[in-house]
Structure 1
Amino acid sequence: MPIYTAEEQLPQRQYDFIIIGGGTAGNVLANRLSENSDISVLIIEAGADTNDNLPVQVPFLSVTLSGSEIDWKYKTVPQAGLNGRVIPCARGRALGGSSAINLLTYNRGSDDIWDHWAKLTDDQSWSWSKIQRYYLKNSRLVAPADGRDTNGEVDPLVHGDGPLEVSVPGHILPIDDLVVQSSKQLGGRFKYNSDFNSGDCTGVGFMQSTIGNGVRSDSNTAYLQPAASRPNLHILLNTHITRLIHSVSANSGPIFTTVELGTPNNKSERTQVSASKEVILSAGVIGTPQILQLSGIGDASALRSLNITPVLDLPDVGAHLADHPLVANYFKVSSEGTWDNVLRDGSVLGANMGQWQSSRQGLFVDSPGNTQSYQRLPPDSSAFDGISDPSSGPKSAHTELIFINGFAQFGETPPPTSGNYVTVLSIVASPTSRGSVTLASNDPFAHPSINPAILTTNFDVQAMVQAMNDAQTFLAAEPWQKDFKPVVFGELANAKTDADKADLARKTAVTVNHPAGTARMSPVNAKWGVVDPELKVKGTKGLRVVDASIFPVIPECHIQAAVYIIAERAADLIKTAYGL
């Protein structure tokens, strides 16, 4: 697997397949397509390798990667639903893409999600019964770092035998048992769920994460590195795609098999490589619509306004951007059993880091949260006023809570310099707000205009308020009262009413960095959408999209597992199309 860091190093200018983006989906495709030694594959990534990046490897340090050198450092436009605030939109810019910088949670989603996608696309091959094998092909359950008995925390029977390693937490925290016991006492909307990957993604349970032996498992380590010995797979790093160049066919419309390359350091110099079979866009929810629009595929009038000649009028390109809103709820606790001191005392942090380096044990083997909870709204919730239920079905949630054994900074609230805290992240899992990704200019090296339109619908605001109330209800349960005795802290303490909480959400909300839907999949003959159910860009030949931009609707869960699953299926679709 030769790796090149500049386009002039490439030994050839034509490949069978060119994959744009070495991220979550792109690396799956690179591995699966290059399994055939007669097929040449080039993967082009704008970032660098991450093999020597320690914060990528250490799960607890995952929170430090947003805004780092391997993040695109995107910002949204001012958000009307957030009092005009601009918030970050973290996307991985390195081999592994966002699977290298995310917070590692692995939820394949409920059965309902996939059956809903099948209905929306009028294609039953997207239903769970057909998709399940790709989930099983992607990941496998491994023992947590501490090797403990995980009976009741996870169901081994619902897991597969794929290359991606998935485990439950490897270092049990003091609040983990409190979460489980509270769930079992409260029941109802807070029922205990022994495995969120069993098909029912509601209830309270242990988080499953892409971690093996205390180390991050991502698309680079799970898919690319095992293909290192393949000479037919080439990787080009530090290179941007400036546009796709088309040729004209009277019978099939524009053919997009030529890729124009450039680098930020030499913006005027451009070169080209071509694919004899297909170009596959896996540039992500932001990068994919940007490249399509730069190539003349998108809303024709908007393209003309930027002096881009329209090739194909597809108004849905860049539209329907969705993300999961997040509000951090802080509680001061009486117990000293939190990890707050790790972030305040360099010697304590160093000791934990040393433990991870020497034995792959201790606090740093996990991301900051070990447990999560998915809830459906009460049936009489005012969030449903005037709309139908936006979730995929009864096994999918409307909201999510994540429980963190310390003060976790999300947004601009600074960590306190003393005391012990618990953070509960409240999240809207089935948001109805929709925004867009559009070109800010025709400069391919400029960031596009990103507008997720966070909290711009009544449903999203009311669902967030319910999630914030649920956090307080849950931490008022009896198991918390013996030692932790949580008390609302900071601005949350002054948010006495639902209206106050809505105001606090607008003031402090960010996102979970789960953008989706900017090149959504639709039925073959539908006039809406960007790709057909085989992920081919409508009206074109030689061009396919495989990443979270094709989601017809945002799933009610953390999204990386769904990206892996669609990539595994796309690899089979491509192999079938070319008899490979």
Structure 2
Amino acid sequence: MKAASLLSALVTSAVFFGPALAITLTEPSQLSGKTYDYVIVGAGNAGLVIANRLTENPATTVLVLEAGISDQNQIPVMAPFLGPSVTPDTPYDWNYTVVAQPGLDNRTYPYPRGRLLGGSSSANYMIHQYGTNEDWNRVAAVSSDQGWSWNNMKQYIKRHEKIVPPSDGHNTTDQLIPSLHSFTGELQISLPIGNQTTDPFVIATTSQLKEFPYNEDTSGINNNLLGIGWAQSSMDDGLRASSSSSYLASANSRPNLTVMINAMVIKLLSTGSTNGLKAFRNVQFADARTKTVTPAFQVQARKEVILSAGSVGTPQILQLSGIGAPADLAPLHIPVLINSPQVGRNMQDHPLLPNIFTVSGNGSLDDTLRNASAVGAAISQWASSKTGFIANNVINQLGFARLNSTLLKGFTDPAAGPTSPHYEMIFANFWLDPVVTVPATGNFFTILTALLTPTSRGSVKIHSTNPFVAPLIDPNMLATDFDIHTITESVKAIKRFAAAPAWSNYITGAFGTLNGTTDAQLAAHARLHTSTVFHPTSTASMTATSKSPSSGVVNSDLTVKGAAGLRIVDLSVLPFIPSCHPQGPAYMLAERAADLIKASA
């Protein structure tokens, strides 16, 4: 049994009651009205930021439609270490599967997307960063809008981020630079709690090998992502911090905010035209539990519909609504209301490759995670006191690196700039391979590597007019020479890392195909084990406002090209994937979007 499956099976051994929230509607019949100033589709990272900020004005009415369930009292969601058990194949997940991936030996794999309040912020592994200033400056350049540059975007850190002390009270000197951060925002961010056996080995390696310098702050706020340091996670006092537990919780008492779960948006309906543009201010939805669709399940926005359904859900809804490429819609006999050929194109994601090492002794968590009684006791401890390893994220350190000029020779550098990383290293003191089941015996140390600057481009495309049929999701992993070259070089790098003197009494060898020594063998290892960190972006990409829908999907203010009353606020609008874990960029994007929406009202 995979560790995540064991964790899922055992969460019922403890009882947990989360913080009380205001009433969230569960039935369409509970709606008191059908017209709101704004209708937000999706209660994820971005959607709940927008809901919070717009309802700061008590005269503004907002309805949020969420297809999934409530996150309240859900132990796997709230306990930080249980993050891997939230997805896939659970009630909290959309339970997607990618199409066969030629770059991965034609394998398929699950494609997790959060389907509950908080969206993927309630289902991810909580790592929180902002990317480099080069990432944001590239968005500004592509969109011809300096409002997206880091000099402007960094102002939102103050209102977004709330650094909180780690719940174990340890000394955090040299683990984070306080002057860079905010202590007054909405989302709680903290450092790891509890020591892991490998902590001193990881940190010691940074002083033993110049290739892997120490990074005192891994947020990227000071444009320094390179190096290895302590993970910053969206958690507080042994609990996950999501957009639901933060932004929604602080706005839930406002009478001008309505949130309805179990409401799956199936299409947007045209409502005539505004200033010569086709308007889309009507939203049709279904009861997600019964898949019931009736004409009565419609709501209207006086001002705007805001799509925050994510890089899979947003293009699916657009295409079902007749906004997309004629080549995609014509075979399904969907009338093309807006010819927008880039909808669902340009998909980018971070390939994730687990690299497993065998270790001596019993210092890893593997024996504990195989033991149902031990895991059950740990979950019970967490439920009663929010302590123990279940109260911590699954990792304590991570790192970022670039290919040197020699390794880049022959390639155009796809990074946003010369200080932006090409790949990531993630350190886990147990077997962490979502593709392969943990062996019945043995102890392991995992160094996962993620390709942060993929040049492969994929797509999301509907293949049925039935909204309950998942779209074809094709991240097109490791499809270019640069991508396979870089992920292979990342494997060589972590093997050098694991050979540092600090590991001499702990790591005993590489496991399985990681034993390969040639480029071809390591490339085969990557193709066999790579899947996703589930960081999809760019399927409704932003370009300059003056450009036509043929160049992109949204303008620099995130309004949909060729449409009126319709805006997209989620990671699908970024023209390039950030060189970091993207939940921080999603929040920052939404904070600025809220200002743009208010300014246009």
Q: How does 1:404-419 map to 2 (within 5 A)?
A: 404-411=428-435, 413-419=436-442
Aligned mates of 2:93, 2:274 — CA distance in 1 = 42
1:490-542 CA-partner distances (Å, limit 9, x unpaired): 2222x221110111111111011000000011111223111111100011110
Q: Which among 510, 513, 521 is matched to residue 542 of structure 2?
A: 521
Q: Check conservation: 2:401, 2:421, Cα contact below 8 A.
A: yes
1:6-42 CA-partner distances (Å, limit 9, x unpaired): 2122000100000000111001111111111111100
Counterpart of 1:32, as a letter, is: R
Q: Which among 525, 541, 550 is matched to residue 504 of structure 1?
A: 525
Alignment partner, residue 19 of structure 2: none
Alignment partner, residue 23 of structure 1: 44
Counterpart of 1:131, as a letter, is: M
Distance 1:220 1:497, change over 3 A: same
Alignment partner, residue 351 of structure 1: 377
Q: Which among 253, 256, 262 is matched to residue 238 of structure 1?
A: 262
- Is 2:163 the counterpart of 1:141? yes
- Give the C-alpha shift of residue 359 in structure 1: 2.4
Q: Which among 18, 35, 39 is matched to residue 56 of structure 2?
A: 35
Alignment partner, residue 333 of structure 1: 359
Aligned mates of 1:351, 1:45 — CA distance in 2 = 34
Alignment partner, residue 204 of structure 1: 228
TM-score by length of 2: 0.93
Q: Check conservation: 2:285, 2:293, Cα contact below 8 A.
A: no
Alignment partner, residue 117 of structure 1: 139
Alignment partner, residue 82 of structure 1: 104
Aligned mates of 2:528, 2:507 — CA distance in 1 = 27
- Give the C-alpha shift of residue 266 in structure 1: 4.1
Q: Check conservation: 2:96, 2:110, Cα contact below 8 A.
A: yes
Alignment partner, residue 5 of structure 1: 26
- Give the C-alpha shift of residue 293 in structure 1: 0.6
1:541-575 CA-partner distances (Å, limit 9, x unpaired): 10000001001100111000000000111111111
Distance 1:279 1:464, change over 3 A: same
Q: CA RMSD, aligned part only?
A: 1.3
Q: Check conservation: 1:303, 1:309, Cα contact below 8 A.
A: yes
Aligned mates of 1:250, 1:520 — CA distance in 2 = 23
Counterpart of 1:398, as a letter, is: H
1:260-303 CA-partner distances (Å, limit 9, x unpaired): 11235244424211000000000000000000011111102321
Counterpart of 1:522, as a letter, is: T
- Is 2:69 the counterpart of 1:48? yes
- Is 2:507 the counterpart of 1:485? yes
Q: Which among 391, 402, 427 is matched to residue 376 of structure 1?
A: 402
Aligned mates of 2:32, 2:342 — CA distance in 1 = 37
Which of 150-159 and 355-364 deviates more? Answer: 355-364
Q: Check conservation: 2:28, 2:287, Cα contact below 8 A.
A: no
Q: Which among 237, 240, 245 is matched to residue 213 of structure 1?
A: 237
Alignment partner, residue 100 of structure 1: 122
- Gapped runs of 5+ residues in structure 1? none
Aligned mates of 2:27, 2:335 — CA distance in 1 = 29
Counterpart of 1:3, as a letter, is: T
- Is 2:297 the counterpart of 1:274? no
Counterpart of 1:454, as a letter, is: M
Aligned mates of 2:524, 2:322 — CA distance in 1 = 41
Aligned mates of 1:285, 1:384 — CA distance in 2 = 33
- Give the secondary structure class of the aligned counterpart of 1:3: coil
Counterpart of 1:293, as a letter, is: Q
- Gapped runs of 5+ residues in structure 2? 1-21
Q: Which among 523, 540, 555 is matched to residue 563 of structure 2?
A: 540
Aligned mates of 1:329, 1:282 — CA distance in 2 = 34
Aligned mates of 1:395, 1:137 — CA distance in 2 = 27
Alignment partner, residue 577 of structure 1: 600
- Give the secondary structure class of the aligned counterpart of 1:169: coil
1:92-150 CA-partner distances (Å, limit 9, x unpaired): 00000000000110011111111111111111110101000112321111111211010
Q: Check conservation: 1:115, 1:127, Cα contact below 8 A.
A: yes
Q: Check conservation: 1:192, 1:203, Cα contact below 8 A.
A: yes
Which of 155-164 and 264-273 deviates more? Answer: 264-273
Alignment partner, residue 401 of structure 1: 425
Percent sequence identity is: 40
- Give the secondary structure class of the aligned counterpart of 1:320: coil
TM-score by length of 1: 0.97
Counterpart of 2:428, as a letter, is: I
- Give the C-alpha shift of residue 384 in structure 1: 4.9
Q: Which among 454, 470, 485 is matched to residue 431 of structure 1?
A: 454
Give aligned pairs, total.
572
Aligned mates of 2:274, 2:264 — CA distance in 1 = 30
- Give the secondary structure class of the aligned counterpart of 1:380: helix
Aligned mates of 2:45, 2:570 — CA distance in 1 = 8
Q: Check conservation: 2:273, 2:564, Cα contact below 8 A.
A: no
Alignment partner, residue 180 of structure 1: 203
Counterpart of 1:29, as a letter, is: I
Distance 1:446 1:384, change over 3 A: farther
Q: How does 1:281-300 map to 2 (within 5 A)?
A: 281-300=307-326
Distance 1:500 1:207, change over 3 A: same
Alignment partner, residue 495 of structure 2: 472
- Give the secondary structure class of the aligned counterpart of 1:247: coil
- Is 2:272 the counterpart of 1:248? yes
Q: Check conservation: 2:104, 2:530, Cα contact below 8 A.
A: yes
